[in-house]
Amino acid sequence: MKNILITGSSNGFGFKAAKDFADRGYRVFATMRNPNGKNVSAKAELEGHSTHIKVVDMDVTDQVSVQEATAGILAEAGHIDVLVNNAGIMYLGITEAFSVEQAKIQMETNYFGAIRVMQALLPAMRSAGSGLIINTSSLVGRISPPFFGTYTATKHALEGYSQALRYELSPFGVDVVLVEPGPFGTGLLASGQVPAHREVLESYGALAEVPTAMGEHFAQLLQSEEAPDPQWVVDAYLELAELPFGSRPTRRVVGLTWGTDQINALTQGIQDGILKEMQLDTTLGGVSA
């Protein structure tokens, strides 16, 4: 039986993925914050769904929490075959009006949180000579639309880190891939905050109202019959997990693309060419696009 750890399992993609991987025969460690408090109902539903699911209390923004949770999981399971870094939060608004502290909060979850979990599990994966890390990025990890600036920055950081890590871990038989979802009705917008710098918002005049209107439009779209199905992202996780090492694409766009698939097709060959330019193609060979 393969073991998988999924962060951010209390709702959205992570919640669905925990159920589907369990149904495929995986032993699932579904991590979330406050499983005995705020998220007690999510814990009950997941563990009631399958005996293959164990909910684990873990806060990706807390180093001690990550270390204790992953140590307990590894002690119980022996190894983790697949890690899905899914935990994330998003703020929508006038980029200048978000404080540095608000930008840090998103970085702690979306970027540093992913790094904490990866670093906790990678020694065991490298020692085993196998493993898969799926980092949930976003279309805006590759493009930069207005009003998503602080969130976009976290996903661009995750993309850069993951690309480098993919090269470095390839000789150990460990894959790192990125899933880049478009807009989906997962409640991610509900995780947002109002920009802290009210005086900046006021100075933007009527433009300051545009992000709110945009958010309402997205909310309506994502609740309509034409909305992309979050199951598509879970299906991407499942497909990537079943592919053999060396055959997985670096990036997988899911849902509305906004041209991101074209960007990936254009730039990945250039990106991989850097290995040859740096005379690292032999040392880090075998990495596919």
By annotation, the residues acting in catalysis are 10, 137, 151, 155
Distance CA 76, CA 68 (A): 12
79: closest CA among 179, 174, 177, 178? 174
CA distance 13 to 255: 13
| CB count in 10 Å sphere of residue 177 | 21
User: Are 184 and 65 contacting, i.e. CB atoms less than 8 angstroms apart?
Assistant: no
How many angstroms separate the CA atoms of 147 and 93, rounded?
5
Sheet order of strands, 3-6 included: 53-57, 27-32, 3-6, 82-85, 131-136, 174-181, 251-254
Q: How would DSSP label each residue in 50-105? A: -TTEEEEE--TT-HHHHHHHHHHHHHHHS--SEEEE-------S-GGGS-HHHHHH
User: How far apart, in whole angstroms, are the C-alpha atoms of residue 161 and residue 114?
Assistant: 10
Cα distances (angstroms) measured from residue 218 to each of 212, 213, 214, 223: 10, 9, 6, 9
